[in-house]
């Protein structure tokens, strides 16, 4: 059955036990298939809580969250949501469980009681998508930081989810590792994967199709990347990386169009350089 | 007056099957009042080099000269010379052990027998140089923010009154505003006549702030030079783990297309050069 919305969150409130203020304070968010949402916000703004609401690790204390058309407050739906919405965390070490790369990727599907052929197929595809096919027999501990994060992603992909929620998945990586992970995410999105990407790194927003900003448990801005890069991020006090400054300057002089992405390679292409 | 590494070679686990050449003949000169960065991938030998500069490690061959003088391992002279080179380890706040910021900063000088008003002066100077808020002196260092803790760690090294300050990944784990503050402080310290040696994998920060940069790859020196020389080199010679910052990648492409622009420059210079070249074409 084709779902109209991957996520439909309405008036969601979430309070942790003993906390004075709610972590989420009335979230409304509709996400269509194939969207790539970058979710920005300061520490403590509620981004990670929202991530956990999205894959039913938490259920809203008020309001509702439907993921893949399933109600996350219904215990029967919870396992299906967790299978269909994969979560990737900041530290890959937190979700790598096996000593050998391919065994780690197989862990999730094995727990779904699938046939060996089906498992093998899923592992092969996940390794291929994350560019780890050649490293499949390696020890997980011998991988670099960027490779480990791609392994964590492969483990999530082996569940063949409809949506990915990435919670600061690039923040522990060096520039090379970050670039390789972003490239991988771009490919997944091109193939139709819906993504919610939590980050505080401006560069990570370059490929999103939509950007949302959180503050004190609420979404305070939600709009197109072009509007965001056009200056909204400066008004909201985010840092300005060099390529964004360059993008803004060229855009204000009419040398590039607003829909160009603030990425060096895309700006060069727009300028025919 | 300078701090010099001369053809330094160093191996871990000498003679064992896992012998690992961390540095294979690396040279570097740092003058007082200079900011020199050592950049390289994880495992390139940059932390090993930092530990040689402060005589924590001694080279298997080659030598380290502090103001022209070298010393043998374990000699009293080595201990004296080491005082001239303050080393701030990576994540230094993980080594805090005192109940107050003041005790943390007093630790080294009071161990050397500095007492009374002289000790107080020493602490005050270190607090000022590190940009630490003096009202935090009686606070528990474990309760401070990440940026403040980093400053306490730097203050406790400055309290040793070194002539050279070596910092291993000083910006690791700090957010953007923490990095900006720290950079400003290190700049002030350098202007005060100390040498700053920053060991980092953050090429962008090194290019922005250093007078000179040494690039290491698998224990060997690839190139030493001014930031623009390093950017120019890396644009056509990839080095493991180092990606040229976006603006330098942009400038490099413009140069390849025959547009005259410095490889290491600001947004405004890039835009001006672009407009110039468009004007000339029309």
State whether B247 and A243 contact (CB < 8 Å): yes
Please report, in angstroms and rounded to a whole number, the separation of the first and last CA atoms in chain A.
Answer: 46
pLDDT at position A1, please? Answer: 42
Q: What is the CATH number of the domain that holds B4?
A: 3.40.50.300
Q: Please write the tens of the pLDDT for every residue from A163-216.
A: 999 998 887 777 777 888 898 999 999 999 999 999 888 888 889 999 999 999
Edge-to-edge order in the sheet of strand A7-14: A24-31, A7-14, A62-67, A70-71
ipTM tops the 0.85 cut: no
In the listed set B195, B213, B234, which residue is the last one of a domain according to the structure?
B234
Predicted local distance difference test score (pLDDT) of residue B88? 94
Q: Which residues of B touch A249 (CB under 8 A)?
A: 267-268, 271
How far apart, in whole angstroms, are the C-alpha atoms of residue A77 and residue A81?
Answer: 6
* pLDDT band, very low/low/confident/very high, at B78 (cuts 50, 70, 90): very high
In this prediction, residue A2 carries a pLDDT of 46
Nearest to B271 among A242, A249, A273 (CB): A249
Question: B22 and B2, same structural domain?
Answer: yes
Segment A62-75 mean pLDDT = 96
User: Does residue B91 form part of some domain?
Assistant: no
Which of B203, B241, B257 has its CB closest to that of A273?
B257
Query: Are residues B168 and B108 part of one domain?
Result: no
Residue A272: both structure tokens together: 């025919």
Residue A178 is inside which H or E element, if any?
helix A175-190
pLDDT of residue B119: 94
H/E stretch holding A79: helix A78-84
B89 within some domain: no
Chain B residue closest in CA terms to A245 = B267
b/e sequence B48-86, b meaning 16+ C-beta within 10 Å: bbbbbbbbebbbeebebebeeebbeeeeeebeebbbbbb
Residue B123 vs residue A20, higher pLDDT: B123
- B22 with B58, same domain: the answer is yes
Tell whether B270 is covered by a domain.
Answer: yes
**Domain for residue B167, yes or no?**
yes
Q: Which residues pair with B116 in a beta bridge?
A: none
List, in sequence order, every residue forming a beta bridge with B23; answer none if it has no partner: B10
The count of structural domains within chain B is 3
| Residues B142 and B278 grouped into a single domain | no
Q: Does B137 share its domain with B264?
A: no
Q: In a mutagenesis test of the B interface, which of A45, A202, A271 is the best target, namely the one with the most B β-carbons within 10 Å?
A: A271
| B255 touches A: beta carbon within 8 Å | no
Domain boundary among B161, B176, B196: B161
Residue B65 pLDDT: 97
* Distance in Å, alpha carbon of A223 to nearest chain B alpha carbon: 24
Q: Is A237 an 8 Å CB contact of chain B?
A: no
Q: Looking at the domain that runs over A7-224, which CATH code has it been given?
A: 3.40.50.300
For chains A and B, CB pairs below 8 A equal 51
Residue of A nearest to B269 (CA): A246
Q: Which of B41, B203, B249 sits opposite A264 (nearest CB)?
A: B249
Q: Does B280 touch chain A (CB under 8 A)?
A: no
- Chain-wide mean pLDDT for chain B? 92
Instruction: Please compute the mean of the pLDDT values over residues B102-114 and round it to a whole number.
Output: 93
Let me know whether B46 and B174 are in one domain: yes
3-state secondary structure of A39: strand
What would the pLDDT profile of B3-31 be if each residue is shown by its tens digit? 999 999 999 888 887 788 899 999 999 99
Q: What is the pLDDT of residues B205-252, one digit of tens each?
A: 899 999 999 999 999 999 999 999 999 999 999 898 888 999 999 999
C-alpha to C-alpha distance for A48 and A238, rounded to whole angstroms: 19
Asked whether the beta carbons of residue A255 and residue B274 sit closer than 8 angstroms, the reply is: yes
Query: B239 in a domain, yes or no?
Result: no
B188 lies in the same domain as B54: yes
Domain residue ranges of chain A, discontinuous segments joined by + = 7-224
Alpha carbon A157 to chain centroid, angstroms: 12
The conformation of residue A228, written as its DSSP 8-state character, comes to: I
Average pLDDT over residues A104-113: 93
Picking from A90, A142, A146, A174 by the largest number of B CB atoms within 10 A of its own CB, the best residue to mutate is A174
B120-148 mean pLDDT: 91
pTM over the 0.95 mark: no
**Cα-flanking dihedrals φ and ψ of residue A250, to 5°?**
-65, -35
* Residue B48 and residue B58 in one domain: yes
- Of B132, B161, B190, the one marking the end of a domain is B161
Range of the domain at B123: 98-161
Cβ–Cβ under 8 Å, residues B216 and B239? no
Estimate to the nearest angstrom the gap between the alpha carbon of B67 and the chain centroid.
19
For the segment B132-143, the average pLDDT, to the nearest whole number, is 92
Domain contains B139: yes
A65 - beta bridge partners? A9
Q: Which residues of B touch A234 (CB under 8 A)?
A: none
Percentage above 70 pLDDT, chain B: 100
Q: Which residues of B, range 16-55, sit inside 8 Å of A by Cβ?
A: 41-42
More confident call, B33 vs B43:
B33
8 A C-beta contact, residue A225 and residue B247: no
Q: Are residues B149 and B11 in the same domain?
A: no
B272–A contact, CB cutoff 8 A: no
B136 found inside a domain:
yes
pLDDT over 90 percentage in chain A: 68
| Alpha helix (H) residue ranges in chain B | 46-53, 76-82, 101-111, 116-129, 146-158, 176-191, 203-209, 227-236, 246-256, 267-281
Cα separation of B49 and B27, whole Å? 10
User: Alpha-carbon distance A11 to A218, whole Å?
Assistant: 10
Residues B47 and B9 in one domain: yes
The reply to whether B92 falls in a domain is no
Closest approach of B241 to chain A, Cα-based (Å):
6
């Amino acid at each position: 059955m084709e779902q109209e919305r991957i996520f439909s969150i309405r008036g969601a409130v979430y309070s942790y036990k003993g906390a004075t203020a709610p972590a989420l304070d009335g979230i409304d968010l509709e996400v269509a298939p194939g969207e790539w949402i970058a979710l920005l916000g300061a520490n403590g703004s509620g981004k990670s809580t929202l991530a956990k609401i999205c894959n039913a690790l938490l259920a809203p204390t008020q309001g509702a969250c439907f993921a893949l058309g399933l109600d996350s407050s219904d215990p029967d739906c919870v396992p299906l949501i967790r299978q269909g919405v994969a979560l990737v965390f900041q530290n890959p070490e937190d979700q790598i469980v096996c000593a050998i790369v391919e065994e780690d990727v197989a862990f999730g599907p094995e727990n779904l009681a699938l046939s060996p052929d089906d498992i093998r197929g899923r592992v092969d595809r996940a390794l291929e998508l994350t560019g780890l096919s050649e490293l499949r027999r390696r020890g997980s501990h011998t991988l670099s930081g960027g490779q480990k994060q791609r392994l964590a992603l492969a483990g999530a992909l082996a569940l063949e989810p409809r949506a990915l929620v990435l919670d600061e998945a690039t923040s522990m990586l060096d520039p090379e590792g970050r670039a390789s992970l972003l490239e991988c995410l771009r490919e997944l999105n091109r193939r139709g994967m819906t993504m919610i990407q939590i980050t505080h790194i401006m560069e990570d927003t370059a490929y999103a199709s939509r950007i949302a900003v959180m503050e004190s448990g609420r979404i305070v801005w939600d709009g197109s990347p072009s509007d965001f890069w056009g200056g909204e991020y400066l008004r909201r006090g985010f840092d300005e990386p060099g390529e964004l400054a360059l993008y803004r300057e060229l855009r204000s002089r009419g040398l590039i169009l607003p829909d160009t992405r603030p990425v060096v390679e895309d700006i060069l292409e727009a300028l025919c350089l | 007056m300078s701090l010099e590494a001369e053809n330094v070679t160093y191996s871990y686990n000498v003679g064992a099957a896992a012998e690992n050449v961390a540095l294979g003949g690396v040279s570097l000169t740092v003058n007082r009042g200079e900011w020199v960065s050592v950049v390289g991938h994880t495992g390139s030998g940059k932390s090993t080099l930092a530990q040689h500069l402060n005589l924590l490690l001694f080279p298997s061959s080659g030598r380290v000269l502090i103001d022209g003088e070298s010393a043998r391992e374990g000699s009293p002279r080595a201990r004296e010379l080491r005082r001239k080179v303050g080393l701030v380890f990576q994540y230094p706040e993980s080594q805090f052990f005192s109940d107050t910021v003041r005790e943390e900063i007093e630790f080294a000088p009071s161990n050397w027998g500095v007492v009374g008003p002289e000790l107080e002066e020493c602490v005050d100077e270190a607090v000022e140089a590190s940009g630490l808020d003096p009202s935090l002196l009686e606070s528990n260092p474990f309760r401070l923010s990440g940026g403040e803790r980093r400053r306490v760690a730097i203050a406790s090294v400055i309290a040793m009154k070194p002539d050279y300050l070596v910092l291993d990944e000083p910006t690791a784990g700090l957010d953007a505003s923490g990095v900006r503050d720290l950079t400003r402080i290190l700049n002030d310290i350098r202007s005060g006549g100390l040498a700053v040696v920053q060991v980092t994998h953050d090429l962008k920060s090194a290019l922005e702030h250093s007078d000179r940069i040494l690039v290491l790859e698998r224990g060997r020196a690839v190139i030493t030079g001014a930031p623009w020389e390093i950017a120019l080199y890396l644009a056509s010679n990839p080095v493991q783990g180092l990606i040229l910052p976006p603006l330098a990648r942009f400038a490099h492409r413009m140069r390849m297309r025959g547009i005259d622009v410095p490889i290491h420059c600001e947004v405004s210079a890039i835009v001006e050069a672009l407009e110039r070249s468009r004007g000339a074409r029309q």
